Amino acid sequence: MTTGRPADGAGTRGGAGILEGIRVLDFSHQLSGPYATMILGDMGATVIKVESPGRGDGIRYEGRIAPEVGSHFFWGVNRNKRSITLDLKHPEGLAVALRLARSCDIVVENFRPGVMDKLGLSYEAVRAVNPDVVYLSITAFGAEGPMAQRPGMDLILQAVTGVMGITGEANDRPPVKIGPPIMDMSTALYGVAAMLLALFHRERTGQGQKADISMLDCGVSLMAAQATALLMGTGKEGRFGSGHPNLAPYQAYRDSRGAHFIVACLTNTFWRRLCARLGLGELVDDPRFADMGARSRHKDELNAVLEPIFAGRPADEWVELLAQEDIPCARVNMPSEALALDQLARNGMVGEMTHPAAGVHKVVASPLHVSPPPRLERDAPMLGEHTGEILREFGYTDDEIEGLRSAGAV
């Protein structure tokens, strides 16, 4: 592990985590990088978020609550971090950044390729002061190549990867964006895996490394099944709404009140149970519906039978009736309904934190159930909230800190 780190003055109200003692210097912004580093912070790592003076991470201003508080978007991916403001284009600001990097285990950035090089914070520059550092670089399309310098964000990557191309209804309806920022969030999860794997490699060999991941690659990887079928020449390309090209019944159905619920007969056993529960025993031996392949080929005919039946009761009644027969089914919830589920509460997925400006509020907790458990220790920081505190930890005197402020470096 990297040696010579200053003592961590963050304090631990939530208890020591699995990654206690790991320091992360986070230059990332928006969603992918910050979500990845938040996961490390949840697990006990000390995360120092570097932001530009006066403005900070742009996501602070997307649907913000108040200027000094930030936005729900910012809160959602930046807890368990401390914020320091540095002007990385100022020579003294760069010197501070390199001094911090010298004593950190991980450095994370998600700028366009070449930006960190121009700032003097490339992997090579950081490695020169910290040879065993783990350096994670997140890009939109890749570090090199014909698309490397194009701007990329979640919506763009949903389009480019083909994910949006297969999302939505058929019959010339427009493609649909997946609700959550799936490209950002999946890239963050791959980023966490890359950082932990690199740390594990360093533990074994003593060697740091640079890890590169792109939203393009991560997005395409989410379509592993569809992409493999296409590469092998057996895939069906198109939009299937809530359904599936090779499974039936396996989709959303409309109930008597206009709500929707899912029926997902993944196997013939579930199909036979559904027929029995609906009083449609004759369909079991109907050659059009006898097996999954037949049902997929005759999906329109099958739905012509099922849709009028399902439209006769409310979704909640159908879910209760079908669940009694162990038939996979679910009501299509809105997020507010999902957050109110008793099961979610039992899983401990809704917690509370206290923000210095906004007071006590609820948050989505970590889904990781490990020991020591994830912590809800420190709410998302206000811009530059910990600048002086962090600088003192890294050996700066009060006079030096004042000099940095006067120079506009912090």
- The answer to whether 99 touches 394, Cβ cutoff 8 Å, is yes
Q: What is the pLDDT of residues 235-268, one digit of tens each?
A: 788 899 999 999 999 999 999 999 999 999 999 9
Which domains are seen in the chain, by residue range? 23-222+351-407 (3.40.50.10540), 250-332 (3.30.1540.10)
Q: What is the pLDDT of residues 70-85, one digit of tens each?
A: 788 999 999 999 999 9
Q: Which residues contact 47 (CB under 8 A, 6 or more apart)?
A: 24, 26, 37, 38, 40, 41, 80, 81, 82
Would the pLDDT of 11 be above 70?
Answer: no
How crowded is the C-beta side of 165, counted as CA atoms within 13 Å? 14
Q: What is the pLDDT of residues 351-366, one digit of tens each?
A: 999 988 788 999 999 9
Average pLDDT of span 226-233: 90
In which band, very low, low, confident or very high, does the pLDDT at 66 lie, cut at 50, 70 and 90?
Answer: low
> Residue 359: beta bridge partners?
355
Average pLDDT of span 203-217: 98
Q: What is the pLDDT of residue 355?
A: 86
CA distance 42 to 55: 25
Average pLDDT of span 186-199: 98
Q: What is the pLDDT of residue 67?
A: 57
Would the pLDDT of 326 be above 60?
Answer: yes
CA distance 97 to 86: 8
In which band, very low, low, confident or very high, does the pLDDT at 68 lie, cut at 50, 70 and 90?
Answer: low
- The answer to whether 130 touches 104, Cβ cutoff 8 Å, is yes
Q: What is the pLDDT of residues 275-323, one digit of tens each?
A: 999 999 999 999 999 999 999 999 999 999 999 999 999 999 999 999 9
**Catalytic residue flag (residue 255):** no
Q: What is the pLDDT of residue 236?
A: 80
Share of the chain above pLDDT 90, in %: 87
Average pLDDT of span 30-57: 97
Q: Which two tokens mark 100?
A: 């911090």
CA distance 101 to 126: 7
pTM above 0.75, yes or no: yes
CA distance 107 to 24: 6
Question: Which one from 154, 184, 255, 379 is the annotated catalytic residue?
Answer: 184
Q: What is the pLDDT of residue 356?
A: 80
In which band, very low, low, confident or very high, does the pLDDT at 231 lie, cut at 50, 70 and 90?
Answer: very high
3-state SS string over the chain? Answer: CCCCCCCCCCCCCCCCCCCCCCEEEECCCCCHHHHHHHHHHHCCCEEEEEECCCCCCHHHHCCEEECCCEEHHHHHCCCCCEEEECCCCCHHHHHHHHHHHHCCCEEEECCCCCHHHHHCCCHHHHHHHCCCCEEEEEECCCCCCCCCCCCCCHHHHHHHCCCHHHCCCCCCCCCCCCCCCHHHHHHHHHHHHHHHHHHHHHHHHCCCEEEEEEHHHHHHHCCHHHHHHHHCCCCCCCCCCCCECCECCEEEEECCCCCEEEEECCCHHHHHHHHHHHCCHHHCCCCCCCCHHHHHHCHHHHHHHHHHHHCCCCHHHHHHHHHHCCCCEEECCCHHHHHCCHHHHHCCCEEEEEECCCEEEEEECCCCCCCCCCCCCCCCCCCCCCHHHHHHHCCCCHHHHHHHHHHCCC
In which band, very low, low, confident or very high, does the pLDDT at 64 lie, cut at 50, 70 and 90?
Answer: low
Would the pLDDT of 53 be above 80?
Answer: yes
Q: Average per-residue pLDDT in the chain?
A: 93
Q: What is the pLDDT of residues 146-177, one digit of tens each?
A: 999 999 999 999 999 999 999 999 888 899 99
